[in-house]
Amino acid sequence: MAFETKNVRNVTLLGHSGSGKTTFAETMLFESNEIDRRGSVQDGNTVSDYTNIEKERGNSIFSTLMHANWKDSKINILDTPGFDDFVGEVISSLKVADTAIVLINSAHGVEVGTELIWEYVEKFETPAMFVINQVDHDKSDYDQALEQMQARFGPKVIPVQYPLNQGLGFNAIIDALRMVMYEFPADGGKPEKKDIPAAEMDRAKEMHNALVEAAAENDETLMEKYFDQGTLSEEELAEGLRTAIAHQQIFPVMVCSSTRNMGSGRIMGFVNDICPSPADRPAAPLEGGGELACNSKDGTCSVFIFKTISEPKVGMVSYFKVYSGVLHPSEDLYNANNRGSERFSQLFIANGKDRKQVEELRAGDIGVTVKLKNSHTNNTLNSKGDDRRIEPMHFPEPRIRTAVSPPSKSDMEKLMKALHQIEEEDPTLIVEQSAVLKQTLIHGQGQLHLDLIKYRIEKVQGITMDFIRPRIAYRETITRMANTQYRHKKQSGGAGQFAEVHMRIEPYYDGMPAPSELTVKNTDIEDLPWGGKLAFFWCIVGGSIDAKYSNAIKKGIMSKMEEGPLTGSRCQDIRVCIYDGKMHPVDSNDMAFMLASTHAFKEAFNEAAPQLLEPIYDLEVLCADDVMGEVMGDLQTRRAIIQGMAAEGHYQKIIAKVPQSEMYQYSSTLRSLTQGKAKFTRKFSEYSAVPHEIQKQLIAEHQAELVED
């Protein structure tokens, strides 16, 4: 049976690792009879964490699609991993979700992972609600969690429920929307509806009134009714909440114990009654302007692929959302990103690894297909005649990198193939074969992210892959002027070679005045492919060198600038003036002038107080107050320059400049220093001078390498 758009609910479960998302999903599937036995994260048998790697580690790494039928709705559930190493999975889930359900661990309150996720919820403008989970925990503190949520996410955070008796004895929830108490049997499941105990009535009423006000606040007719009647009917209240949630005017808070299976049914009921269907969301923006309303009746079919994963024996599995129209297995679709045609010959709905074939999927619904020929994440496929492209997802810049050393030359090809396959599935992984550094590098979101890629390569592909320290792309420049002349002369039988070049080199900067004492005939300011500039000035008067050799002379300089005199790194920001020289009517040629200028440049460079430059990154660390000292202490050992500190919510934000060479393994160090209570982003900022002692050491290392070669 296919679900109408208005009966589809797409929710994604978000939250700090360990808040209980996967367990909560399992509970929803059990309560809606999708499964007849509840697995647990400990036993490694949940529907959501179905891959071997997740079972082994005991937490989620990939987002998982599931669904639960509840009342009129098909609730599509995307469970996500909590670590920010896997933020790509959060982004793709938020792209297609219409409600974000943010889980809060009742014993911990707002955590770093909650903060991170909230940034994305705000960015995507996704309607959101909270579930305070684990209220059965002996350290559960609902009031404190709620207080932190309101402090951090604002007064739109409005409770719908609270636990009557949190802690080990938990078995009842007070519901201020329905004004009832749900009392659960010892093993959870379907609760009994009871009157709210007299002692709780004041608190429940106060909560109810706050809800009514929030629901009426943005709707004039409801507001009038509320003033007239002093209250709203359940249907009016629901109507007001529906609008308010869809427009992110309120973030309701529900309560649950996932392990005891207490509360998930009511939450699904709330999702069914109150949360937006895909048709209640703004039309999807299209690339290149325009938008696409979610409509199964009038629209032609458009489908967006938000995730792919390769499965042994099956090959590529593609997860998609139907943005418009109705998708049938018989129809040919056209990929608007690469113009290819595709047929979704089998349509599935999924509960983790279990897939069930369906005959159609309507606008708003989420499904799975296999064996697409040439369609990838972020592609849109349309019925013939349309070339709509849904605005693609954007993934964050990598935060860490490592070099990879393969065991043998013959395995290199296999390794690259495996890496590229993972790269295809995981848009936050970047594989780079760097000719400059002579290394294969992988860039990702954190140490855990990279470690898991290594694990997959080793376990699944059987290739051992070691991580080694990546080289640094240093740069070389000069700090003062130097003049030099070089004569290249060769007379070994046959034709001789002769060229003499006199050059001045000096540090170059934009807007630099013309050289004194020289007559500039021609200027050529070149943007170097690796950044920075070469200003090449031709200052020959009286024809001591024919202008036809200027190209060869410049080439000679460039060849040395590509492999700098100090450490073989690239040179930048240098002005070279060619002001004199000699040529020979027979023995001079391009080659001779090239060699002469290369040598002249190298000599001049070494006399011009050369300076190594290193890449500097802008680093932002967000950490809890109590680990601030550790984070700062560690930064001091990394030659960091602190730019600023500011409170953000109950976290501290540290902004610093840190040399790339000092960032190695920062991700894992930070995690262990702070027990996961910190996160960071980094971005390339600029090149700056390497301290003298380190420069000496780097030059010595380069010399030693040259000798070895």
Ligand X SMILES: Nc1nc2c(ncn2[C@@H]2O[C@H](COP(=O)(O)OP(=O)(O)O)[C@@H](O)[C@H]2O)c(=O)[nH]1
Smallest distance, ligand X to C-beta of residue 13, A: 8
Judge whether 478 and 507 are in contact, CB under 8 Å: yes
Judge whether 54 and 60 are in contact, CB under 8 Å: yes
Name the E strands within 134-236. Answer: 157-159, 161-163, 172-175, 180-183, 192-194
Which of 12/440 has CB closer to ligand X? 12
Using Cβ positions, the residue closest to ligand X within the complex turns out to be 20
Judge whether 398 and 385 are in contact, CB under 8 Å: no
Instruction: With contacts defined by CB under 6 A, name the span among 13-21, 481-489, 531-539, 613-621 that binds ligand X.
Output: 13-21
Residue 240 contact among Mg ion, ligand X, none, beta carbon within 5 to 8 Å by kind: none
Residues 6+ away with beta carbon under 8 Å from 542:
none
Residue 137 contact among ligand X, Mg ion, none, beta carbon within 5 to 8 Å by kind: ligand X
665-684 residues near ligand X, rule: CB under 6 A: none
Residue 497 contact among ligand X, Mg ion, none, beta carbon within 5 to 8 Å by kind: none
Tokens of 407: 């065991």
CA dihedral in degrees (223, 227, 233, 234; nearest 10)?
50
Judge whether 416 and 109 are in contact, CB under 8 Å: no
Residue 39 contact among ligand X, Mg ion, none, beta carbon within 5 to 8 Å by kind: none
Residues pairing with 617 in the sheet: 658, 684
Binding mask 228-257 for ligand X (x = CB under 6 A): -----------------------------x
Which of 59/69 has CB closer to ligand X? 59
Cα separation, 407 vs 298, whole angstroms:
57
Residue 15 contact among ligand X, Mg ion, none, beta carbon within 5 to 8 Å by kind: ligand X
Residue 134 contact among ligand X, Mg ion, none, beta carbon within 5 to 8 Å by kind: ligand X
Cα 647 to Cα 122, 157, 644, 653: the distances in Å are 19, 21, 10, 6
Residue 588 contact among Mg ion, ligand X, none, beta carbon within 5 to 8 Å by kind: none
Residue 243 contact among Mg ion, ligand X, none, beta carbon within 5 to 8 Å by kind: none
Residues 6+ away with beta carbon under 8 Å from 227:
none
Which of 21/266 has CB closer to Mg ion? 21
Smallest distance, ligand X to C-beta of residue 20, A: 3
Identify the residue among 5, 22, 166, 379 touching ligand X (CB under 6 A). Answer: 22
Which of 102/215 has CB closer to ligand X? 102
Smallest distance, ligand X to C-beta of residue 120, A: 16
Which of 21/399 has CB closer to Mg ion? 21
134-173 residues near ligand X, rule: CB under 6 A: 134, 136-137
Which of 114/567 has CB closer to ligand X? 114
79-138 residues near ligand X, rule: CB under 6 A: 82, 133-134, 136-137
Q: State the residues that interact with Mg ion by CB under 5 A.
A: 21-22, 60
Q: Is the dihedral of CA 252, 253, 255, 256 positive or negative?
A: positive
Cα separation, 172 vs 193, whole angstroms:
10
Tokens of 279: 């048709």
The 3 state secondary structure assigned to 393-415 is: CCCCCCCEEEEEECCCHHHHHHH
Which of 79/280 has CB closer to Mg ion? 79
Which of 59/464 has CB closer to ligand X? 59
Residue 342 contact among ligand X, Mg ion, none, beta carbon within 5 to 8 Å by kind: none
Closest CA relative to residue 354, chosen from 66, 76, 78, 81: 66
Instruction: With contacts defined by CB under 6 A, name the span among 17-25, 209-217, 535-543, 555-563 that binds ligand X.
Output: 17-25
Tokens of 176: 């201020």
Smallest distance, ligand X to C-beta of residue 645, A: 30
Which of 133/439 has CB closer to ligand X? 133
Identify the residue among 15, 265, 470, 532 touching ligand X (CB under 6 A). Answer: 15
Identify the residue among 5, 10, 51, 60 touching ligand X (CB under 6 A). Answer: 60
Residue 428 contact among ligand X, Mg ion, none, beta carbon within 5 to 8 Å by kind: none
Smallest distance, ligand X to C-beta of residue 135, A: 7
Cα separation, 217 vs 594, whole angstroms:
78
**Burial group, residue 435, by CB count within 10 angstroms (0-12, 13-18, 19+):** exposed
Cα separation, 159 vs 176, whole angstroms:
8
25-54 residues near ligand X, rule: CB under 6 A: 40-42
Smallest distance, ligand X to C-beta of residue 290, A: 38
Residues 6+ away with beta carbon under 8 Å from 482:
504, 505, 506, 604, 605, 607, 608
Cα separation, 73 vs 70, whole angstroms:
5
- Residue 673 φ then ψ, to 5°: -65, -35
Smallest distance, ligand X to C-beta of residue 160, A: 18
Which of 81/252 has CB closer to Mg ion? 81
Judge whether 528 and 570 are in contact, CB under 8 Å: yes
Smallest distance, Mg ion to C-beta of residue 184, A: 23
Other Cβ atoms within 10 Å of 121 Cβ, number: 21
Judge whether 47 and 39 are in contact, CB under 8 Å: yes
Residue 17 contact among ligand X, Mg ion, none, beta carbon within 5 to 8 Å by kind: ligand X
Which of 131/566 has CB closer to Mg ion? 131
Judge whether 287 and 391 are in contact, CB under 8 Å: yes
Counting contacts by CB under 6 A, is residue 20 touching ligand X? yes
Which of 113/276 has CB closer to ligand X? 113
Judge whether 265 and 31 are in contact, CB under 8 Å: yes
Smallest distance, ligand X to C-beta of residue 79, A: 7
Smallest distance, ligand X to C-beta of residue 46, A: 7
Cα separation, 381 vs 395, whole angstroms:
21
Identify the residue among 2, 18, 181, 449 touching ligand X (CB under 6 A). Answer: 18
Residues lying near ligand X in the complex (CB under 6 A) are found at 15, 17-23, 40-42, 59-60, 82, 133-134, 136-137, 257-259
